[in-house]
Amino acid sequence: MCGIVGAVAERNVTPILLEGLRRLEYRGYDSAGIAVLDQDECINRVRRVGKVKELSDALQQNDIRGVLGVAHTRWATHGEPSEKNAHPHMCNKSVVIVHNGIIENHSVLREQQINEGFEFTSQTDTEVAVHQVEHYLKIEDDLLKAVRLAVADFEGAYALGVISKKENNRLVATRRGSPLVIGVGIGEYFIASDAAALLPVTRRFIYLEEGDIADIRTNALTIYNDKGDIVEREIKESELSADATSKGEYRHFMLKEIHEQPSCLIDILEGRFVNGQLLDSAFGIGIDGRSAVEILDQVKAVQIIACGTSYHAGLVARYWLEAIAGIPCRVEVASEYRYRKTVLMDDTLVVTISQSGETADTLAALREIKELTNLTLAVCNVPESSLVRESELKLMTRAGPEIGVASTKAFTTQLIALLMLVAALGKRRGLAADKIKTLFQQAQALPALIEQVLQNKADIDAWSEHFTDLDNAIFIGRGTLFPIALEGALKLKEISYIHADAYPAGELKHGPIALIDQDLPTIAIASMDGYEGKIKSNIQEILARGGKVYLFADERLDVSDLGENCYVMKVPAVDADLAPILFSIPMQLFSYFVALRKGTDVDQPRNLAKSVTVE
């Protein structure tokens, strides 16, 4: 979602803030702005609708310089995308604030502040935050105290960076419900929503915890917890390099990340198996000191909670857990789970899945569940994320930075991680060691198979030309490939803006087949999983009604009887259990090439954000 950058230093921070915003563009946004306190103790602010480039161009005409400043990319929630609604927000040309999250009681605070004489220039919930800080500054005349009092009045989620012209060497930052990191330099400090924004200036980071307030100066940093006590937070050295978030030789981040999947699958498997058997240490140690062995031995059922692409990974895992491990599993979208009354069976392991580890609904669901059980596991790509820190066990996907909004390598590494969970729980329910060994020998063969698919991307590109002028499509699959059909439809919607729905192939006759005609193509997926005869019958039903089918099929499947209106793309032979991972790759490439031909913004599709940190 929105992106925050801030800096207090002994050098001009404007280029640092601007570069930080560029590195946060992947999060999704509609406007950008910057505010810097200059040597005359005046706050200079520039805001623009559109891309960071628009802001950069404006700064060429406005030479803003200073040693203290904040910047922001906004994804509109309250108020349309406009310059007046863009951050940073300012009160009386004295206090400036940048904010991620939502102040849920903003209407009540706005009414109070209007009665106190505050003037509003925007439609945002954030403006009440800056007014509230100014209100308390008049009472306390200390920025830290004013921020502490102000946030006590807020309901909802926030990450804040606050500066005042009265204190030219001070940046106050705080978070609750939205991520915020402090970058540690030499004689300088930085804040950001994501460490990636600060990699050009530091690789040392402090990850603020819930309710923390940081008092930041060039030569000092003091962090207070939500009780007001001074605390020490560990400084962590990032293993990422500044160029880890660059496109390199690729036209788009998405294409780069699709091509990174073979190496990512090697990385997630490395060091987690001995003699073909999974090490329980891969799951870490519980917050309360319990070993993974002790926790996993207790599990009798699994509840998976996730959103979007991660939810689709969870649906695949349900098939695996029940068919391979013999353990009951439920999967639910986090935004639904957290708002309904649920029944959690005893000894149920609650698995939350999130690429960023900051997905608002998933985090909220975890926090509610922790009041009922301490059997929790996070499958995540970011070790320092809230989801990882607050879960008993954690299984890191090791995918590295994923910048493209449409998830690719995060999804396939989530599937491998969930396969590890299947093996760990399966061996406790009698799954043979030979079966587990074979399963992961097949997993280790996947990178080479993915490379074969990538070598055929020109053929997939050729298919995409057929979709340039289309507005609708249907995806079908059976068994573990139905969630891959869902994921394929989501990818096509996300980046090409084609309306796409996915169905279990057997559901066609229960309604969707009424839509079939020559202008509505069907994308089908078929592996040698025992369902191949059934899905061929479904394809015949579509063809008989004048429809066109684009079939991604295991190379062993006989398609000679499907006719000329069924276009076939062969996928390397793969074991049925591993088919969801391999078949994800052509789905990703297909969506990418369609979007390319449509001329859409592949890496930053409209209205979307990489990490959904607000409801």
Domain extent for 393: 253-451
Q: Is 140 within the bounds of a domain?
A: yes
Q: Within this chain, do residues 227 and 267 fall inside the same structural domain, yes or no?
A: no
- List pLDDT tens digits, range 420-474: 999 999 999 999 999 998 998 899 999 999 999 999 899 999 999 999 999 999 9
Q: Is 160 within the bounds of a domain?
A: yes
Q: Within this chain, do residues 292 and 200 fall inside the same structural domain, yes or no?
A: no
Q: Within this chain, do residues 237 and 271 fall inside the same structural domain, yes or no?
A: no
Q: What is the pTM of this model?
A: 0.80
Bridge-based pairing state of the strands 376-380 and 393-396: parallel
Q: Within this chain, do residues 228 and 188 fall inside the same structural domain, yes or no?
A: yes
Q: Within this chain, do residues 413 and 482 fall inside the same structural domain, yes or no?
A: no
Residue 405 corresponds to which amino acid? V
The residues near 330 (Cβ < 8 Å, ≥ 6 apart) are 301, 302, 303, 304, 318
CA pair distance 147, 131, nearest whole angstrom: 11
Q: Within this chain, do residues 130 and 162 fall inside the same structural domain, yes or no?
A: yes
Out of 226, 245, 264, a domain closes at 245
- Residue 589: name the closest of 469, 505, 523, 491 by CA: 491
Q: Is 611 within the bounds of a domain?
A: no
Q: Is 486 within the bounds of a domain?
A: yes
Q: Within this chain, do residues 205 and 98 fall inside the same structural domain, yes or no?
A: yes
Q: Is 603 within the bounds of a domain?
A: no
Specify the 3-state DSSP secondary structure of 590.
Answer: helix
Q: Is 257 within the bounds of a domain?
A: yes
Per-residue confidence (pLDDT) for residue 610, from 0 to 100: 59
Catalytic residue among 2, 264, 329, 566: 2
Q: Within this chain, do residues 233 and 124 fall inside the same structural domain, yes or no?
A: yes
The count of C-alpha atoms lying within 13 angstroms of the C-alpha of 335, restricted to the half-sphere facing its C-beta, is 10
Per-residue confidence (pLDDT) for residue 212, from 0 to 100: 95
Per-residue confidence (pLDDT) for residue 288, from 0 to 100: 73
Read off the CATH number of the domain in which 347 is found.
Answer: 3.40.50.10490
Q: Within this chain, do residues 392 and 424 fall inside the same structural domain, yes or no?
A: yes
Q: Within this chain, do residues 16 and 164 fall inside the same structural domain, yes or no?
A: yes
Per-residue confidence (pLDDT) for residue 512, from 0 to 100: 85
Place of tokens 């206090």: 95
- Segments of the chain with pLDDT less than 50: none
Catalytic residue status for 610: yes
Catalytic residue among 427, 493, 536, 610: 610
First to last CA, the chain: 11
Per-residue confidence (pLDDT) for residue 241, from 0 to 100: 67
Per-residue confidence (pLDDT) for residue 104, from 0 to 100: 86
- List pLDDT tens digits, range 340-377: 888 888 999 999 999 988 888 999 899 999 888 989 99
Q: Within this chain, do residues 190 and 124 fall inside the same structural domain, yes or no?
A: yes
CA pair distance 47, 53, nearest whole angstrom: 11
Q: Within this chain, do residues 360 and 290 fall inside the same structural domain, yes or no?
A: yes
Report how far apart, in Å, the C-alpha atoms of 155 and of each of 128, 249, 312, 454, 515 are.
12, 45, 32, 48, 46
Out of 245, 264, 294, a domain closes at 245
Average pLDDT, the chain: 91
Q: Is 614 within the bounds of a domain?
A: no
The count of C-alpha atoms lying within 13 angstroms of the C-alpha of 29, restricted to the half-sphere facing its C-beta, is 30
Q: Is 412 within the bounds of a domain?
A: yes
How many independent structural domains does the chain possess? Answer: 3
Specify the 3-state DSSP secondary structure of 125.
Answer: coil
Out of 189, 212, 245, a domain closes at 245
